[in-house]
Every structure is written in C-alpha cells, then in structure tokens.
Amino acid sequence: MAKVYQATHIGNVRHNNEDSLIVIEPETFVVADGMGGASAGEVASKMLIETVKKFLSKSLAPWNENILAQAILLANDKILNEARRHEEYSGMGTTATILSLDGEQAYFAHVGDSRLYRLRGDAFEQLTKDHSYVETLIRRGELTPEEARVHPMKNVLMQAVGAIAELHIDKANLPVEHGDIFLLCTDGLTNMIEDATIAKILKTAGNPADALIEAALEGGGRDNVSVIVAGVD
C-alpha cells in the first residue's frame, strides 16, 4: 500500500480555489485545475473529479490507463454540455491528471499543465508533458525551460477537459518499484518553486504535502496550489 498525503490551498492572492483533488480507493489519485470566469473554474474541476469517481466506481480495479482516459472523456462531454446549457460557464475547462497504482504498475492519464512526477532514489522525473503553448515552443527549440517559466503566455493551454470536443489524452503505464514516490500537483506549485526544491522536500519532509504547500506560499503563492504525494512501500 502507498502512504498518501494530500493538501490544497487557495494561495496568497486568489479569491477562490479552482483546484480540486481526490483520493479514490484503491490507490487512485486525481488533481484538477479549473479555469473560467466567475466560479466556472471551480465547477469544471469539481465536475471532473466527481465524474471520474463515479465512472471508476462502476468498473473493477485495477483501473488501467485506458479506463482512466475513458473517465476523462466522459468528464469532457459532461463539462462541455454544462457549459452549453449555462452562459456563465461558457469557456470553462479543467486540467486532469490521474494516477492509479496496483502494487506492480502505475497507470496514468493526463490533460493540461498539472503534473505527475516520480522520485526514484535521486532521480526526480516529470512523467507528464504539459499541454501548454510554451511547452510546444520548448519542443520546437524556440524557448528554453528557463525562459518558459517567465513567459507572458505560460498559462495558455493547448487543450483542457471540457473546453474542446476533440480531446487528446496522454496515457501510459510503467512498473512501480519499492520506494517510489509519486507527486501529482497543479501549476500553483511548479510555478512557485523549482523542481530541485520539490525533490528535496519529498525526500526529507515528515508531511511532504503540507511542506510543499508551505514552500509554494513562501515562493509567492500567486495561484491555488494542490498536491497529492503517494509513497510506495
């Protein structure tokens, strides 16, 4: 079984928390970062986690990456429909990063710029790719990761759940090793502190979720911040 820590915080400047997160038994973790005017971002990220939870409850675990992706697709339809029915929700959307562990394998599915990382020994690796405009520029060699961190368009997403009909979901599975630590987080963490700091906290903190939130707030806390940490025995 994994040892799990989770935390979310509104941050230092925002007036509402548009992030949603959930831990679903067995060993399944979801973070969602909503966007949209008024309260629409909150609606979108909550719809995502509720839809995923309900969808997974109807099929037997372990939930592989294809099942996780189906759950995101269903949420995409539901959020699109809700936005069509209510003008105030027009244009809302959410990121979705889901990880499911079954003791031997890790399965994940992902849309947007929330992230899944794995710490294995000293190797701290981002397992998801951001679906962001700056990431496409990095891949084309037009921008360095350092430039991307301060780019004026760094918040622009290429796709989000509930915002486009033709969603492309990244999904994969990989073997789990004893001692692996997985981190799911929204960009309110990764825009505030460097990867090296995150890795250090994961290695040393008694409660890594609370410690990561604290570090993000100390780093500025300009956005909502949410984290789930799952350490494999």
Residues near Ca ion (CB under 5 A) are 33, 186-188, 223
Q: Say which residue the tokens 């959930």 belong to.
A: 22
In terms of CB distance, is 9 or 118 closer to Ca ion? 9
CB of 222 to Ca ion, least distance (A): 9
Structure tokens given for 49 = 């986690």
In terms of CB distance, is 2 or 35 closer to Ca ion? 35
In terms of CB distance, is 70 or 186 closer to Ca ion? 186
CB of 35 to Ca ion, least distance (A): 8
Contact present, 136 and 77 (Cβ < 8 Å): no
CB of 169 to Ca ion, least distance (A): 19
Cis peptide before 26 (omega within 30 of 0): yes
In terms of CB distance, is 127 or 189 closer to Ca ion? 189
In terms of CB distance, is 149 or 203 closer to Ca ion? 149
CB of 207 to Ca ion, least distance (A): 22
- Identify the burial level of 63 via C-beta atoms within 10 angstroms of its C-beta, where 0-12 means exposed, 13-18 middle and 19 or more buried: buried
The tally of CA atoms less than 13 A away on the side-chain side of residue 103 is 4
In terms of CB distance, is 18 or 27 closer to Ca ion? 18
Closest CA to 33 of 228, 207, 229, 231: 228
Alpha-helical (H) ranges within the chain are 40-57, 65-85, 133-139, 145-149, 187-190, 195-204, 208-218
Q: Is 153 strand, coil or helix?
A: coil
CB of 113 to Ca ion, least distance (A): 8
Q: Looking at the DSSP assignment, which residues form a beta bridge with residue 106?
A: 101, 174
Q: What is the DSSP code (8-state) at residue 125?
A: E
CB of 93 to Ca ion, least distance (A): 12
CB of 132 to Ca ion, least distance (A): 11
Structure tokens given for 75 = 């949420």
In terms of CB distance, is 112 or 208 closer to Ca ion? 112
